[in-house]
């Protein structure tokens, strides 16, 4: 027991010694620190006052310089208007050659006026020249100069409140022969000068019958740069409505209502820094002494507190941040969301939650490994951090889900603009460890309002995300109240679709594919159709996204492939094309399923054509290539569907064994009115022929499109011009009586139409 008491006693003694030492050092240290702080504060206050005086002086210099520039501009215009020949050339008889030689040469070419105009005695614009062609349009320009014109004509009783007179003593009741004001013209601050043309004797009769010469000089960054160089001010620029950055200050040109016509930012000279620099060494030496003294006494305490604080920070960071990306996690996000809701309820800025889901991220993990997936998450994190502001919160909620809280306007245009920037950043290709990876992003948006709690806002954002994924991914949807009902409707429809697949209540429609002349059917494309017992005909654009989102697309795709093979046995000379969804194609047993269906239906594999889109192959190149080669080995053909609407990578065309390219209907619809669409069609046909592939055009509806595509070298076509999707029996009837379904000659139809 004594041995145990000894260290305790020693600790108590050491503790008392520390307390005594602190009782001696701390009071003296506090007194010295207070004295040093007082000196430092005095120096800082003096420096601040010197800086404020300098800034105020430089603001006044800028205003004087702008006014001086306005007076000089007015003198240049007066030199033209008051010239001896001006009255004869402009007032008595308008001479355009003289105007070009004197007015344009003097004011535009020599003195860089942005707009020069001449208004006649009838107040109509006789001449206008502008550096920007849009500024010279007569109607808007005449309206922009209306105030100055009315002023010189003596039609105003007082100057309006939204202009700043440049010349002292400008009086609306006694306008004089010239005027210069600063006003906003076309959304930009400008110096507007004007002078009436005529002699002194003519002026005695007033300005009513005098032509007026106008000169407009925008207060542009170029003009401000010259003024800044003359005034020795750095960074003088037009700030507009933006906030100044860094060390910038603002000089405002205010109208009589104290509303700014121009806000000019500049970096002032700050003499206060010299004051601080002269005092700082002494303060620094004194502070170093105090710091060393206090550090000597409190070293152990400080180290202990620092260790505890660092441990707490590390634990909190681990608890609130994602270990892979370093972003805030779901807990941190929930806390920040609660804070944002409180700020909005207190009258703060409106805000919104952007719920982001990465499309095809699982494919990257499954095919390239989790280490590549983690690197992809880091790349996405960097892009999201760059595209958002520093005050916005970017969080990773787990897996492929991210969320953003940002203060922004709540209108749909602003929200979609932010979402568009996010999607563009995320969807750009990634190069990771030699792999070119392309993913997509779907976004659900929910506005934070005063009525809803955090759980409601997250649920709304999730429903909006669900809508975005169902509408085709790579897009953003904003929550509205109708989504609650829509979600319930989708769930019910999803259950009905499952039963329809199980009960064989779906049906297949077939759209014929014809040769280039349109005379012969060479194949059909199988399309799913569903007549609901209660709701009637459900369009594919509605039930296909539901099937993809719920995973029913696997069962639906197998049903469709089997149905097409069964019906296609009756058409031995036709190719049967079946669309394959990305979820179907990426299944490990996809090849076995196709082989089994071909065997069970006794369908010739060489007549089966599987249509894939470029998105089916994203992040899945090796597996996709192997699957396609296995099916090609038994005779199955492949078509690249909707070519031109995705990434249109030549890698896919060279690497994968496609037999056909299908030009998307959007290009076909545009070939008659968009030259670039026609050029794309020609390029796709040339590319397909060069690679030994057939080319099919979708969505052909008119004779003109038919004629163009035939001339371009397309091998086959499909669309309403030739036939709408119909039943298998209708296809059989068409094959039995082809003359009854033959379309007219496109050459003759186009000739008759013209």
Domains for the chain: give ranges and CATH numbers.
2-42+284-318 (no CATH), 82-219 (3.30.450), 330-480 (3.30.70.270), 490-753 (3.20.20.450)
Q: How far apart are CA 325 and CA 376, in angstroms?
A: 10
Confidence band, pLDDT 50/70/90 cuts, at residue 2 = very low
- Residue 114: pLDDT above 80? yes
Structure confidence at residue 159 (pLDDT): 80
User: Which strands make up the sheet holding 260-267, listed edge to edge?
Assistant: 234-238, 260-267, 249-254
Structure confidence at residue 751 (pLDDT): 64
Span of 382-396, 505-519, 662-676 with lowest mean pLDDT: 662-676
pLDDT, average across residues 565-585:
93
pLDDT, average across residues 194-221:
83
Structure confidence at residue 630 (pLDDT): 94
Span of 133-142, 374-383, 548-557 with lowest mean pLDDT: 133-142
Q: How far apart are CA 355 and CA 94, in angstroms?
A: 66
- Residue 18: pLDDT above 60? no
Confidence band, pLDDT 50/70/90 cuts, at residue 281 = confident
Confidence band, pLDDT 50/70/90 cuts, at residue 646 = low
How far, in Å, are 136, 149, 192, 325, 754 from residue 142 at the CA level? 9, 9, 13, 58, 44
Structure confidence at residue 30 (pLDDT): 74
Q: How far apart are CA 153 and CA 212, in angstroms?
A: 10
Q: How far apart are CA 16 and CA 449, in angstroms?
A: 58
Share of the chain above pLDDT 70, in %: 90
CB 213 within 8 A of CB 79: no
Q: What is the rounded radius of gyration, in angstroms, for the C-alpha atoms of the chain? A: 39
CB atoms within 10 A of CB 256: 12
Question: To the nearest whole number, what is the mean pLDDT of the chain?
Answer: 85
- Residue 33: pLDDT above 90? no
CB 430 within 8 A of CB 436: yes
pLDDT per residue as tens digits for the range 431-475:
998 888 889 899 999 999 888 889 889 989 988 998 888 777 789
């209306």: which residue's tokens? Answer: 146
Structure confidence at residue 11 (pLDDT): 41
CB 147 within 8 A of CB 239: no
pLDDT per residue as tens digits for the range 150-184:
888 888 888 888 889 988 877 777 888 889 999 99
Phi-psi bin for 602: left (phi > 0), alpha (psi -120 to 50), beta?
Answer: left
pTM over 0.75: no
Beta strands at 188-196 and 212-218: parallel, antiparallel or unpaired: antiparallel
Please name the helix (run of DSSP H) or strand (run of DSSP E) that holds residue 712, with its range, or none. helix 703-712
- Residue 413: pLDDT above 50? yes
Q: What are phi and psi of 312, to 5 degrees?
A: -65, -40
pLDDT, average across residues 486-498:
81
pLDDT per residue as tens digits for the range 334-350:
999 999 999 999 988 89
pLDDT per residue as tens digits for the range 222-247:
889 999 888 888 889 998 888 998 88
Token reading at 687: 């590319």
pLDDT, average across residues 726-742:
89
User: Which strands make up the sheet holding 178-185, listed edge to edge?
Assistant: 125-130, 115-119, 212-218, 188-196, 178-185, 164-165
pLDDT, average across residues 82-87:
82
Nearest to 458 by CA among 448, 472, 468: 448
- Residue 8: pLDDT above 60? no
Token reading at 86: 């001006």
Token reading at 63: 């205003």
Structure confidence at residue 617 (pLDDT): 72
CB 524 within 8 A of CB 723: no
CB 189 within 8 A of CB 129: no
Q: How far apart are CA 148 and CA 180, in angstroms?
A: 8
Alpha carbon dihedral 203, 206, 211, 212, in 10-degree steps, equals: 90
List 190's β-bridge partners, or say none. 183, 218
Structure confidence at residue 284 (pLDDT): 75
pLDDT, average across residues 573-586:
92
Structure confidence at residue 560 (pLDDT): 95
CB atoms within 10 A of CB 630: 15
- Residue 494: pLDDT above 80? yes
Confidence band, pLDDT 50/70/90 cuts, at residue 357 = very high
- Residue 671: pLDDT above 70? yes
Instruction: Show the DSSP H helices in 322-442 as ranges.
Output: 330-345, 361-368, 370-387, 412-427
Confidence band, pLDDT 50/70/90 cuts, at residue 724 = very high
Confidence band, pLDDT 50/70/90 cuts, at residue 20 = very low
Share of the chain above pLDDT 90, in %: 38
Q: Higher confidence at residue 749 or residue 473? A: 473
Q: How far apart are CA 721 and CA 705, in angstroms?
A: 10
Structure confidence at residue 6 (pLDDT): 35
Please name the helix (run of DSSP H) or strand (run of DSSP E) that holds residue 670, with its range, or none. helix 665-670
């Amino acid at each position: 027991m004594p041995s145990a008491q000894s260290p305790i006693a020693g600790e108590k003694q050491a503790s008392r010694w520390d307390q005594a030492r602190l009782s001696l050092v701390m009071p003296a240290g506090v007194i010295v620190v207070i004295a040093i702080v007082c000196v430092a504060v005095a120096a800082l206050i003096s420096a601040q006052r010197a800086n404020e005086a300098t800034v105020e002086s430089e603001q006044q210099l800028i205003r004087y310089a702008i006014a001086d520039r306005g007076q000089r501009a007015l003198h240049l215009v007066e030199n033209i208007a008051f010239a001896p020949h001006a009255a004869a050339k402009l007032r008595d008889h308008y001479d355009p050659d003289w105007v070009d030689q004197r007015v344009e040469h003097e004011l535009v070419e020599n003195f860089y006026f942005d707009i020069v105009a001449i208004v006649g005695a009838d107040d109509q614009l006789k001449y206008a020249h502008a550096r920007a062609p849009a500024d010279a349009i007569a109607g808007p320009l005449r309206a922009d100069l209306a105030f100055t014109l009315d002023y010189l004509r003596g039609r105003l009783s007082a100057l309006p409140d939204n202009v700043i007179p440049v010349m002292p003593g400008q009086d609306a009741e006694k306008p004089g022969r010239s005027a210069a004001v600063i006003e906003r013209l076309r959304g930009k601050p400008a110096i507007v000068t004007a002078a009436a043309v005529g002699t002194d004797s003519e002026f005695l009769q007033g300005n009513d019958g005098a032509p007026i010469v106008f000169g407009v000089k925008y207060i542009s960054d170029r003009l401000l740069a010259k003024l800044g160089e003359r005034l020795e001010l750095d960074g003088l620029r037009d700030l507009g409505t933006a906030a100044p950055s860094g060390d910038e200050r603002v000089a405002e040109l205010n109208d009589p209502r104290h509303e700014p016509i121009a806000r000019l930012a500049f970096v002032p000279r700050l003499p206060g820094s010299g004051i601080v620099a002269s005092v700082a060494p002494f303060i620094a030496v004194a502070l170093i002494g105090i710091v060393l003294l206090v550090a000597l006494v409190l070293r152990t305490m400080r180290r202990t507190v620092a260790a505890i604080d660092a441990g707490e920070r590390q634990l909190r960071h681990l608890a609130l941040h994602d270990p892979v990306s370093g972003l805030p996690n779901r807990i941190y996000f929930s806390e920040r969301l609660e804070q944002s809701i409180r700020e909005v309820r207190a009258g703060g800025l409106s805000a919104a939650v952007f719920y982001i889901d990465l499309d095809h991220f699982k494919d990257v993990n499954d095919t390239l490994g989790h280490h590549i997936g983690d690197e992809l998450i880091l790349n996405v994190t960097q892009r999201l951090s760059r595209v958002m502001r520093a005050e916005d919160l970017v969080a990773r909620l787990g897996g492929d889900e991210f969320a953003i809280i940002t203060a922004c306007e709540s209108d749909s245009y602003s929200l979609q603009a932010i979402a568009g920037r996010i999607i563009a950043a995320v969807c750009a290709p990634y190069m990771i460890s030699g792999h070119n990876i392309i993913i997509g992003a779907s976004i659900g948006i929910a506005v934070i309002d005063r009525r809803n709690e955090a759980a409601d806002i997250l649920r709304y954002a999730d429903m909006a995300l669900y809508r975005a994924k169902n509408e085709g991914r790579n897009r953003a949807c904003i929550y509205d109240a109708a989504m609650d009902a829509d979600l319930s409707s989708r769930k019910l429809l999803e259950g009905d679709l499952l039963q329809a697949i199980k009960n064989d209540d779906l049906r297949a429609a077939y759209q014929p594919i014809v040769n280039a002349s349109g005379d012969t059917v060479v194949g059909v494309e199988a399309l799913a159709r569903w007549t609901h017992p209660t709701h009637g005909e459900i369009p594919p654009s509605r039930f296909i996204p539901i099937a993809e989102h719920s995973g029913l697309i696997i069962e639906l795709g197998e049903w469709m492939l089997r149905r097409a093979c069964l019906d296609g046995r009756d058409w031995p000379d036709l190719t049967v094309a079946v669309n394959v969804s990305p979820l179907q194609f990426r299944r490990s047993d996809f090849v076995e399923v196709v082989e089994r269906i071909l065997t069970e239906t006794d369908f010739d594999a060489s007549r089966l054509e599987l249509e894939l889109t470029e998105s089916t192959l994203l992040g899945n190149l090796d597996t996709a290539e192997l699957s396609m080669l296995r099916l090609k080995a038994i005779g199955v053909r492949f078509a690249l569907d909707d070519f031109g609407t995705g990434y249109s990578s030549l890698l896919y065309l060279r690497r994968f064994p496609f037999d056909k390219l299908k030009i998307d209907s959007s290009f076909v619809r545009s070939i008659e009115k968009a030259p670039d669409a026609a050029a794309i069609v020609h390029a796709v046909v040339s590319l397909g022929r060069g690679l030994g592939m057939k080319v099919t055009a979708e969505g052909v509806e008119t004779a003109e499109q038919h004629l163009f595509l035939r001339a371009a070298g397309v091998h086959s076509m499909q669309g309403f011009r030739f036939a709408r999707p119909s039943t298998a029996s209708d296809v059989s009837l068409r094959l039995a009586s082809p003359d009854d379904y033959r379309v007219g000659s496109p050459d003759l139809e186009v000739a008759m139409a013209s």
